[in-house]
Chain A
Amino acid sequence: MRTVGHIARHDVMRWLRSPALIAATLIPAVGMALMVLALTYAVGRQPVALVNQSEGKAATEIAKLISTSDGFFLVQRTPEQAQKDLKDQKVAAVITIPPRFDADVFTGTAKVDVKINNVDLDFADDIRRSVSEAVVAYNIDAGRQLDASEAAERGGQPTNVLPGDESVVLGSHFHTNPYGVSVDEVDLRHPDTSFLAYQLIPVLALLALTGGALVTALALSGERELGALRLIQVSPARTVNVALGHLVGGAIGAVALIAAVVIPATLLGVLHPPDGRWPFIAGLLLLTAIAATALGVVIGILCRRATTAVLLGVNAVAASFLLGGGFTTVAFLPDIVQQAARLTPTYYSVNALREAFFYKTMIGAGHDMAMLAAFAAGAVVLAAVFLTRAERRPASTSVTPALRPALETS
């Protein structure tokens, strides 16, 4: 146990004493976390200009409906201003309510004109759907329902809607609507989980992954550059203990990173899983960190220079994070991608974390936890095998100068 403790302490202290190593570990994780954050701005509401050329009652009502839709960031414009904004890409679409709108409503031929900058299908479809939602809401009940459902989705109480119609997204329980179909909506939770919250949970797995993999990889490649790896291997210490030492060191680094984020986030109320789930979540993150150290051991042994270890490490961490569901929902991807995702520990970690944070019952989390434990156990074996094989490989002749101070102090 002394060997394990010494090596773990050695790895952690080397990391803590070198700002370059800390930066090399933290910056990719921060970059990927910021990427996830930036994604929340890129989806959701679209900027749209509204040109209301009519002062009639129907025009006013539909303009109000469009302006309360949470699909748009709406600005009121004159026709000329709106065209200029569309050209300058200040808005993605222009919605025009024409001058004869109320008269046309009376004759049943009214049109709301929508001109979309359809440079990309995704946001163009968002706008098409949101416009349809507003128009349909007007046609059904002069807009009362949309207001109510928007309030309900945000956790507020539905208002101004007939009792019994709160869950209706199209039509009404009390009168026939012109569309020939009504739709009742049942949500699995109330209120909705925000896109930001949904996307931020995988960042916890990312921290465990980055900390575990890069701390270990840098420690091992540093030892290799110095030739210390060979010295350790001719010492009486057993290879398994050396491997365990590196694994514990990497896991401590990862846990430190996770704690630095999770504790303040919890105190600030950003993370709030259902009661009693924290021990499970802590176990999940710890197992993710241990499994990630296996990756770190492989990278550290394969690379002769710390610079190459970082490059390979970032490649591996990015692949594991993105393939494991860090940026999307793996269950919605093609089968072949899902099969590939199951080869990464991040897949099980992200799945189980999302289930622990957002679902009432955890159906698959036990299986995911078991898979992570298997990855962690494999880490110890893999680390021992690779360390044994590393003995046969020559050490690099040059030491990366960035590592020198850290290596010397350790």
Chain B
Amino acid sequence: MSDRLRTAQVAAGGQLASFKRSPVMALLALLLPLNLLLLLSLFALTGYRAPTGLVVDDNSPQAALFVAALRAAHHSFALQPMTADQATKDLKTGRLVATIQIPDGFGAQVRDGDSPFVLLTVDNVNRDMAEDVRRAIPAAGAIFAKDIGRPVPIEPQLRNVLSHDTNYVEYLGVSAIALAAVIAGATLGGTVVARTWESGEDRLLRTAPSGAGATLLGRLAAAWMVSLAASLITAAVVVWGYGVPMRSPIEVIGTIAILTACSVALGGLVGTKLRKTLLIVPLVVGLTLPFYLDSGALEPQRFDGEKLFWLAHLSPTYWGVGAIEHAFHGLTVTPEPVWMLLAVLAGGTVAACAGIVRLAVK
């Protein structure tokens, strides 16, 4: 075994012992991605099915059919049956996005060939949700027309590229694992390296026979092990907590390992430049969160426009989200093939490590 490898091994062991001796930093680095995973999942819960008050003043089969059509209108409504007074109150206090009131005599009018009016009241305080509701109404109308046998001149013929839809929690939960890996890796990698400068060890390390590089890489290897464990715990929460199945467990673990390695190395590179542990966490969080949403975390990134798409390539999260969505669901969410996503992450790891070694001797 070469001297450098032995040095790196000893440095890794020492760093792991240090994590064990004062575990607060490692525990908090584990807590942060878990925290973000759980809290960002809240967004997925409100991504569709707008809470809608349903007031039905008619007991006819036609009214029941219209309610069924509303339920079938592309996951648009979480219908909550209630009285008119309650609906008005809940709408005005922001507990509902909309209320739908089916009037008395609705069924009789439909049977007579009329098109009776239903009242939709929308709290349009948030245009995104208001628009979802407005667009869902015609979709429900089309379903209703079909159910009651009314012919319409034109119909949309909907076809899907994939055999099944991936729901929002499944998609976003998996992308949050990539966020966890990047935050845990970059935080620990950056802190470990920056602390070397803060404590003044860098001067001593430069006089070591195997140089400062081997020691730093050894410490980063220890940081990688801890952040890999943190990321795998996050993945376990997604798999067993949220019930998201893994298409290929080996691919999942491999992807997380490569993404974490890249994040640790990039964090280490930042730590080498900043040399202040105080700034590592704010910088990692401050950069990673916006880049997370610009990484294909909610939908394939190119759908948000070419500028944001190309900007996303700067972040390891983009490459990680693409690879991990494939590993979990078999989805292709980037134009780049999976091997390229993983190769870029591996290349980024090697380049960042080389940069750290180079900067360490300066």
Q: A interface vs B, CB < 8 Å?
A: 20-21, 23-28, 30-32, 34-35, 37-39, 41-44, 46-47, 58, 62, 70-71, 86, 88-90, 92, 105, 108, 110-126, 128-133, 135-139, 149, 153, 169-171, 173, 176-189, 191-195, 198, 303, 306-308, 310-312, 314-315, 318-319, 322-323, 327-329, 331-334, 337, 351, 354-355, 358-359, 361, 363-364, 398, 400-403
Contacts and interface: CB of A to CB of B under 8 A. Distances in A.
Interface stretch (B148-156, B213-221, B225-233, B254-262): B148-156
Contacts of A139: 152-154
Contacts of B297: 42
B130 interface: yes
B125 A315 contact: no
B124 A135 contact: no
A81 B292 CA distance: 30
A110 B282 contact: no
- Taking residues whose C-beta sits less than 8 angstroms from the other chain, chain B's interface range is 35 or more
B46 interface: yes
Interface of B: 24-25, 28-29, 31-32, 35-36, 39-40, 42-43, 45-48, 50-51, 62, 66, 73-76, 91-95, 97, 110, 113-128, 130-132, 134-139, 141-142, 144-145, 148, 150-162, 164-168, 171, 187, 191, 198-199, 276-283, 285-290, 292-294, 297-300, 302-305, 308, 331-335
Contacts of B144: 179-181
A400 B199 CA distance: 8
Contacts of B282: 23-28, 31, 310, 314
B158 A128 contact: yes
A189 B117 CA distance: 21
A298 to B, nearest CB: 14
Given A108-B153, A188-B124, A312-B28, A47 B115 contact: no
Contacts of B47: 122
Minimum-distance CB pairs A-B, first 9: A31-B286, A322-B39, A136-B138, A34-B290, A27-B286, A129-B135, A38-B293, A132-B139, A27-B282
B160 A124 contact: yes
B24 A308 contact: yes
Contacts of A183: 117-120, 137, 141
A111 B93 contact: no
B25 A308 contact: yes
A71 B126 contact: no
Contact of A23 (B45, B199, B279): B279
Interface centre among B113, B157, B278, B289 (most CB of A within 10 A): B278
Given A62-B154, A170-B141, A314-B285, A20 B46 contact: no
